[in-house]
Amino acid sequence: MLANKEIAVIGSGTMGRTIAAGLLRSGKVDASRIRATARTRASADKLAQELGVSCSTDNAAAARAAAVIILCVKPKDVEKVAEGLKSTRALAHGPLVLSISAGVSSGFIESILGDSTPVVRAMPNTPCLIGKGMTVVAKGSHATDEHVAIAREIFSTLGRCIELEEKHMDTVTGLSASGPAFIYIIIEALADGGVMRGLPRHVATELVAQMTLGAAEMVLTTGKHPAALKDDVTTPAGCTIAGILALEDGRVRSVLARAVETAAKVAGELGK
Ligand SMILES: NC(=O)c1ccc[n+]([C@@H]2O[C@H](COP(=O)([O-])OP(=O)(O)OC[C@H]3O[C@@H](n4cnc5c(N)ncnc54)[C@H](OP(=O)(O)O)[C@@H]3O)[C@@H](O)[C@H]2O)c1
C-alpha cells in the first residue's frame, strides 16, 4: 500500500526525523517520496542535508503533494498547524492524516480539519530510528480499516505496530513512548553496580544493554509470563534471589508502575 505514496512529515524534530530516517532505512520508501517541514529554515536545511529528503517551511505545499500526512509537531503546536492546513485548503484532496502528538485526540484534530477528514492517531517511540520501535495506532471517527492498515504499514517499517482503542493512548504514551527513558535509567543504574564492583564503564554498559535486549527477546519469543522467566533464573539460596530481594526492598515494582501511571496522567494533559 505504501508503494508510490507521497508522505509529508510536518515537524522535523526528534520524532519527525526518526520517522523519516526509519522509513528510508526500511528501504520501502524512497527519499524522493518524503517531503518534510520544520518551523525554521535552519531545521529544514539540517534535515534535508542529513537525510537527503526535501524539507521546507511550507506545510501546505508538502501536504498538497501527499497521500499521507504525519503531524510530528509538539502538542501545543497542533492547533495552529492544523488550522494552517485547513485555511490553505491543503487537504482538499482527502489525504490520510496521522498524528503522533501526545494527549491530542483525533476528535480535536477532526474538529479543526473538518468532519470527513480521516485521522489516525499513532504513538511511536524513539527506537523507531533503528527499526526496533513500538507504535500503537488508534482510529479516528472517519478513518476506515484501510486507513489503519496504511498507518500500520508505515509504522511496521519502524518496528512493531498494533492497533488499540483511542481511550488507551495516554497509557500507551506513558508506557511505550516514555518507556525508553525509564529503561535507559535502569541500564545506567545496573551498570553502576558493575562499575562499583570494578568493571570499566563501557564494559558494564555493554553487558547490561545486551542482557536487557536478551531478556526482552525472551519475553517476546517465549510468550512466557515474566514471573515464570524470573523463576527460571532464581536458584534456591542463590545470588539472583538475593539481588531480587534487594530490589524488592527498594519497592522497585511500585516505583516503576507509578512512573508509567504518572507519565500517562501528564500525557493526558499535554494537549490541553
Ligand atoms: N520525543 C518522543 O520520544 C516522542 C515519542 C512519541 C510521540 N512524540 C510526540 O511527537 C511530537 C514531536 O515531538 P518531538 O520530540 O519530535 O518535538 P521536537 O523535537 O521539538 O520537534 C518539533 C518539530 O516541529 C517543528 N515545528 C514547530 N512548529 C511548526 C510549524 N508551525 N510548522 C512546521 N513545523 C513546526 C519544529 O521546527 P523547528 O525545529 O524549526 O522549531 C521541530 O522540527 C510531539 O507531539 C510528541 O508528543 C514524541
The tens digit of pLDDT for each residue in 134-180 reads: 999 999 999 999 999 999 999 999 999 999 999 999 999 999 999 99
CATH code of the domain occupying 7-169: 3.40.50.720
Separation between Cα atoms, residue 212 and residue 191, nearest integer Å: 11
Helix, strand or coil, per DSSP, at residue 227: helix
Residue 52: pLDDT band (50, 70, 90) is: very high
Determine the average pLDDT of the residues in 236-251. Answer: 98
Query: Residue 272: what pLDDT?
Result: 73
pLDDT of residue 20 exceeding 90, the answer is yes
CA distances from 32 to 15, 28, 29, 232, 272 (A): 20, 12, 8, 50, 36
What does the pLDDT average to over 245-249? 97
6-15, 35-44, 108-117, 254-263: segment of lowest average pLDDT: 108-117
pLDDT at 26 over 90: no
**What pLDDT, on the 0 to 100 scale, is given for residue 222?**
98
* Over residues 246-264, mean pLDDT: 98
Tell me: pLDDT of 243 over 80.
yes
Among candidates 59, 56, 40, which has minimal Cα distance to 48? Answer: 56
Whether the per-residue pLDDT at 240 is higher than 80: the answer is: yes
Q: How far, in Å, from the CA of 82 to the mean position of ligand 1?
A: 14
pLDDT digits (tens, 9 = 90+) for 61-113: 999 989 999 999 999 999 999 999 999 999 999 999 999 999 999 999 999 99
Q: 4 falls in which pLDDT band (50, 70, 90)?
A: confident
Instruction: Return d(Cα 232, Cα 239) in angstroms, integer.
Output: 13
Same topology, domains 7-169 and 179-270? Answer is: no
19 with 48: CB under 8 angstroms? no
Q: Is residue 2 pLDDT above 90, yes or no?
A: no
Of 19, 39, 183, best ligand 1 pocket probe by most atoms within 8 Å of the beta carbon: 39
Q: Which pLDDT score, from 0 to 100, does residue 114 have? A: 86
Mutate to test the pocket of ligand 1, among 37, 73, 178 (most ligand atoms within 8 A of CB): 73
CB 178 within 8 A of CB 268: no
Q: Outline where the chain has alpha helix (H).
A: 14-26, 41-51, 59-64, 75-87, 106-113, 145-156, 169-172, 179-196, 201-222, 226-232, 239-249, 252-270
| Residue-level pLDDT at 28 | 87
Mutate to test the pocket of ligand 1, among 40, 49, 54, 72 (most ligand atoms within 8 A of CB): 72
Distance 207 CA to ligand 1 centre (A): 33
Domain ranges of the chain: 7-169, 179-270
Question: Phi then psi for 200, rounded to 5 degrees?
Answer: -60, 145
Ligand 1, atom 28: closest residue by C-alpha: 39
Which residues approach ligand 1 with their CB closer than 6 A?
Answer: 10-16, 37-40, 43, 59, 72-75, 77, 80-81, 100-102, 123-126, 177
Measured from the Cα of 180, ligand 1's closest atom is: 3
Give the pLDDT score at 102: 95
Tens digits of residue pLDDT in 166-225: 999 999 999 999 999 999 999 999 999 999 999 999 999 999 999 999 999 999 999 999
Superfamily of domain 179-270, CATH level 4: ProC C-terminal domain-like (1.10.3730.10)
Higher pLDDT, 65 or 123: 123
Cell (9 digits) for 101: 502528538
